[in-house]
């Protein structure tokens, strides 16, 4: 993703928005299908509670990935130039998002398991 914006940090904001659109339009539905099918294969019904855990884990993962050090690069990303450009390495973004999603999903499921044990 390569964006050029107007004003201080304009390109960073545009790159951030474009990355969110890309991830939400492509990656999120794929992950949702995978999670649903894995739960079905284990005989677990995909309820609203799992949907909430999924959505929370996913949105947190995207935010964590985009805000991680070095994800958005270029002069525009640092806010040092009103005419700077911001770049995001899509492969790195997807890899980081998936890693964070897996951690967040495991934590969410662990919290549900703890609650059910009580």
Q: For residue range 83-115, what is the model confidence (pLDDT) as tens digits?
A: 667 777 888 989 999 999 999 988 988 887 787
Q: Is the pLDDT of residue 10 over 70?
A: no
Comparing CA positions, the residue from 54, 55, 66 lying closest to residue 92 is: 66
Q: Cβ–Cβ contacts within 10 Å for residue 100, how many?
A: 19
- Residues 61 and 107: beta-carbon distance below 8 Å: no
Residues contacting 63, CB < 8 A, separation 6+: none
Tell me what the mean pLDDT of segment 9-31 comes to. 82
pTM: 0.78
């Amino acid at each position: 993703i390569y964006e050029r914006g107007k004003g201080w940090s304009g390109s960073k904001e545009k790159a951030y928005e474009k990355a969110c659109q890309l991830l939400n339009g492509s990656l999120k539905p794929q992950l949702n299908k995978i999670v649903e099918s894995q739960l079905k294969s284990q005989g677990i019904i995909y309820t609203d509670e799992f949907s909430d855990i999924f959505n929370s884990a996913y949105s947190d993962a995207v935010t964590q990935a985009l805000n991680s050090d070095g994800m958005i690069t270029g002069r525009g990303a640092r806010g040092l130039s009103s005419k700077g450009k911001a770049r995001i390495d899509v492969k790195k973004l997807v890899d980081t998002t998936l890693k964070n999603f897996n951690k967040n999903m495991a934590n969410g499921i662990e919290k549900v398991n703890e609650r059910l044990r009580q």
